[in-house]
Structure 1
Amino acid sequence: MTLNSVFHFPARNPAETHRASTPLELMFDLASVIAIAAAAHGLAHAIEEAHTIQGVIGFLCSFFMIWWAWMNYTWFASAYDNNSLAFRILTMVVMFGALMLAAGIGTVFAHERIWLALLGFIVMRLGMAVFWLGAAHGDPERRTTALRYAGGITVMQVYWIALVVLVPPYSAIYLPLFVVGVVGELVVPALAERSGATAWHRHHLIERYGLLNIIVLGETFIAITAMIQLENNAIFPDREFLWLAVLSAIIAFSLWGVYFTDDDHLVSAELGQALLWGYGHFALFAAGASAGAGMIVMAHALDQSAHIGPQIGILATAVSVAIYLATLWLIRDRFCLKGVGRWMLLVVAGVTLLIALTAPMALELIALFLVATAMIRRRLSHASSRGSIS
């Protein structure tokens, strides 16, 4: 058995029926959720310590590394997962890199050099480079595309290593250079796919993205569970915390409701549309996770363990909800709905922010508003699907 025969990943059929997530992909999601939880809790702690700007920057930087590695693996697996031993072993190597990244996320918020997070990211990304080399060998039709991916990933890893080694994290140019690296990473697929689109499976990717959305919304469940934990030998949760948990749960369930409708999430396989949908989910996923962070802040403000007032937690949650809804409008609703209804999520995003900034009982109003939004949005989805059938 030669190395070439082992790392040989032929393209799958993009029209394959009954394509679903594999147990290996679900385990990869589990590795990613550990890192996502670490990033969300780092954001919550920063907000509680009144270091919101630094916390948001740290959260976005760390979340990008997590999401980008997850996204690259997910799209590759959609096109080339042949369930071989080599594919499974490489996937587990990339998973271990995700766990290393999760363990090192604390240094991102501490403004220290991110050695461990960088090492985890390198393991994940170089594992992907090996994947693409296997695709270049197993899919001659898209060999140029695969080699462009492998080369682009390797070049960007050199850039990230140079950034962390040469530039102190407290330097004024560190963040701009990080953004340059982000842009460089985003450009790699756009350039590679132009030489021949990979054989990714549209419905498989829609399912995979939906599953990660459930994971990021799971961050709200962590906060809700913490709110209703029993303390001091109590037999029933504190009334104020129970009410906060109920409102938080309503918000979380409503966000689930507006995402999982009957509408087609990815209406076209055209490259520009696919990139908008795939890349746009970064903001949606980050907002889902940060909504959980905002709920943690609300709980800690209520028990006075945070250095800020409860209004900050409400505002943090509302901003996250608004970004989630506005992003969902950008990547889905404006394409799949017609008439006034296509603008609903964008309007709701703005009203949510307005309520958080100006209204008394803001959290109660936001929860009621989101329930109504989820119900109306699902009616629009049913009407749209009936119209397409007729």
Structure 2
Amino acid sequence: MRGRDPHEPHRVTTPLELLFDLTFVIAYGTAASQLAHMLAAGHIGAGIGGFAFASFAIAWAWINFAWFASAYDVDDWGYRLLTMLQMVGVLILALGLPAMFASFEHEDINNRVMVLGYVIMRVPMVAQWVRAGRQDPRRRASSRIYILSIVVSQIVWCILVLFPIRIGTFFLLASVPLALELAGPLIAERKYGGTPWHPHHIAERYSLVVIIALGESIVGTMAALAAVIGPEGPGWSLEVAVLGLAGTALTFGMWWIYFVIPSGEMLAAYRERSFGWGYGHMLVFASIVAVGAGLHVAAFAIEHHNALSLPKTLLCTAVPLAIYTAMIFALYSAVTRSYDPSHKWMALGSAIPIVASVVMACASVGLAWCVAVLALSPWSMVVGYELVGHRHNERMIREAAEARRD
């Protein structure tokens, strides 16, 4: 475990990494389901708070593994077994999500099982970093910083679950281990030489989790369709077709605009830009999953199992979609450090369908038609990119290639 070559040609995701990612399908699916149920029941604040905590824990555990694997994946028996133990931790975390979400309704947080799973995920990472520190002496200082931040933060998380704590107090106290978790990689990479992560590999790893998260939008679309054409639904109609097409088009448009970002090329030329890009993805993952949960809330509305009004039901999808769209622009800016005049028009074009769909919902237009208009939001960016924006993208990629040669 002496460090992978950061310029290794044709570096791709391994079968073990793909298997590891499957556990996060379960975790994100559980979080989306819990969020949808909380929102549909009218517990909006509790649902958002629980989802914020869950999505951070899920994303952060994945991010730590992904960057370590990009730098030190040796795929031997020890590495594989420790990865399996991390997968067990992910599943335990997912099992603890329902109790954690439910506790947000009663203001006394119950996250013991969730934190147990999280700690089980993180302890194997300590073992991995200890091994890396021993076998890669050039980067031993970086490994020690990672070890210190993980160990101290896990101790603090464990202390927090030992005592009954109100929700507000918990979030205040949780800022301490959260800051430790986030600061560790920043200090290790910026102050102590960093690790040999592979830019194109890490860009591919993030893109695969984006696809996993987009799966929740497909699930939400299917839930909405099942509510309409199921035994208790009104059956097939034009609105059913519109709803199915809109949900699929929304997901496809979100996928398209994400892959506009030239992440691999930019990170290969400007490694120092990785933190804004990498940390920003936590909000990207969460917003994508929340869009899927919002579509599931729409399914509850169709089944008349929803305490929300039509405008609030639509906002369950529209708000996370707006956040996702904003984050696409933010990620693009973070990794390219550039701005093109076409961006403001694409941003405006993506905002108009979101606002229009909410106005339609306030005017009591059918939910399917509101979702159809909402689905146009990412497509305005797609059209803008294909007509104009691609030129700016191509210029950024050329400049990155020149920077690498220099």
- TM, length-normalised to structure 1: 0.91
Alignment of 1:77-156 (within 5 A): 77-111=69-103, 112-156=109-153
Do 1:255 and 1:374's aligned partners in 2 also have CA atoms closer than 8 Å?
Answer: no
- The 1:351/1:183 distance shift into structure 2, 3 A limit, reads farther
Q: In the alignment, is residue 376 of structure 1 matched against residue 384 of structure 2? A: yes
Which residue in 2 is equivalent to 1:254? 253
Q: Tell me if structure 2 keeps the 8 A contact 1:266–1:277.
A: no
**Greater alpha carbon shift after TM alignment, 309-318 vs 22-31:** 309-318
Note the alpha carbon deviations across 1:175-229, whole angstroms, 9 max, x for none.
2112333222111111122211100000001000000000001001111122233
Judged with a 3 Å threshold, the aligned counterparts in structure 2 of structure 1 residues 234 and 309 are, in CA distance, closer, same or farther, namely closer
| Alpha carbons of structure 1 residues 282 and 386: separation in structure 2 relative to 1, 3 Å | closer
- Verify the 8 A CA contact 1:263 1:336 in the aligned structure 2: no
Mapping 1:1-390, distance limit 5 Å: 9-111=1-103, 112-168=109-165, 170-193=166-189, 194-229=191-226, 230-232=229-231, 237=236, 239-261=238-260, 263-264=262-263, 267-268=266-267, 270=270, 272-333=272-333, 335=336, 338-344=339-345, 346-348=347-349, 350-359=351-360, 362-380=370-388, 382-387=390-395
Cα RMSD after superposing both structures: 2.3
Check whether the contact 2:243–2:372 (CA below 8 A) recurs between aligned residues. no
Q: Which has the higher helix share?
A: 2
Find the residue that maps to 1:166 and give its secondary structure: coil
Query: Is residue 149–residue 192 contact of structure 1 (8 Å, CA) maintained in 2?
Result: yes
Q: Report the 3-state secondary structure (helix = DSSP H, G, I; strand = E; otherwise coil) of the residue aligned with 2:266.
A: coil
| Structure 1 residues 262 and 166: alpha-carbon distance in aligned structure 2, compared to 1, 3 A threshold | closer
Runs of 4+ more than 6 Å apart: 233-236
1:353 shift after superposition: 4.5
Question: Mind listing any 5+ residue stretches in structure 2 that lack a counterpart?
Answer: 104-108, 364-368, 400-406
**Alpha-carbon spacing, 1:76–1:319, altered in 2? closer, same or farther (3 Å):** same
CA contact (8 A) 1:321 1:349 kept: no
Paired position in structure 1 for 2:404: none
The residue type paired with residue 343 of structure 1 is K
Please identify, of 194-203 and 268-277, the stretch whose mean Cα deviation from structure 2 is larger: 268-277
Q: Distance in 1 between matches of 2:339 and 2:78?
A: 46
Q: Find the counterpart in structure 1 of residue 402 from structure 2.
A: none
Amino acid at match of 1:202: P
Give the secondary-structure state (helix, strand or coil) at the position aligned to 2:177: helix
- Change in Cα spacing, 1:383 to 1:32, as seen in structure 2 (3 Å) is same
Q: CA deviation at 1:39?
A: 0.6
Give me the identity figure in percent: 32
| 5+ long unaligned stretches in structure 1 | 1-8
Q: Match for 1:123: what amino acid? A: I
State the 1:377 CA deviation.
Answer: 2.0
Number of residue pairs the alignment of both structures matches: 381
Q: CA deviation at 1:235?
A: 12
The CA distance in 1 between the partners of 2:342 and 2:112, in whole Å, is: 48
